[in-house]
Amino acid sequence: VSSNAPASQVSNPLPCSPPQRTATDSGLPGAKPRDYLFLAILSCFCPVWPLNIVALTFSVMSRNSLQQGNVDGARRLGRVAKLLSVVSLLSGIVIIIACIIINWGGERPFTRFSFKDTLYVTSSMA
């Protein structure tokens, strides 16, 4: 193998071993890992408070790791932040839809008699 060959054309020393990845290899040359901060902040508006706070924390930790030069750590923390944010958003949507269905859907059990009917009955019996 010549020393001028690109890294993608360099063969592995062992044919059965997987290609070695470097710390800066992200699939795309020069691409920095995403921290998904916007997604984590957006998930904070959903009613799943502990989960979206943790997603925001992982997102900030990912940004700090990238600033310190730890690309692999930033990529790993960014993936966790994205996963937690998506789970928080989906759970929040399910909770909001369930609350809407419970509050405005179907028959309410105590709507057959109103408060005015109760006052009318008690005032007419007196």
Query: 74 CB contacts (<8 Å, ≥6 apart)?
Result: 32, 33, 35, 62, 63, 65, 66
* Cβ–Cβ < 8 Å for 56, 7: no
The answer as to whether 97 is a domain residue is yes
* DSSP state at residue 1: -
The answer as to whether 21 is a domain residue is no
Residue by residue, what is the 3-state secondary structure of 46-59? CCCHHHHHHHHHHH
pLDDT of residue 5 exceeding 60, the answer is: no
Task: Calculate mean pLDDT across residues 6-33.
Answer: 55
The answer as to whether 20 is a domain residue is no
Q: Which domain holds residue 70?
A: 31-104
The answer as to whether 122 is a domain residue is no
Comparing CA positions, the residue from 79, 49, 45 lying closest to residue 62 is: 79
The answer as to whether 26 is a domain residue is no
Q: What percent of the chain has pLDDT over 90?
A: 56
CA dist., res. 117 & res. 52, Å (int): 46
The answer as to whether 46 is a domain residue is yes
pLDDT of residue 4 exceeding 80, the answer is: no
The answer as to whether 24 is a domain residue is no
Q: What is the pLDDT of residue 85?
A: 97
pLDDT band at 105 (very low <50, low <70, confident <90, very high): confident
Could you read off the pLDDT of 24-80 as tens digits, one per residue?
A: 444 465 689 999 999 999 999 999 999 999 999 999 999 999 999 999 999 999 999
pLDDT band at 22 (very low <50, low <70, confident <90, very high): very low
Q: What is the pLDDT of residue 120?
A: 53
Helix spans in the chain (H): 37-43, 49-67, 71-104, 115-125
Q: How many CA atoms lie within 13 A of 122 on its CB side?
A: 6
The answer as to whether 45 is a domain residue is yes
Count: domains in the chain: 1
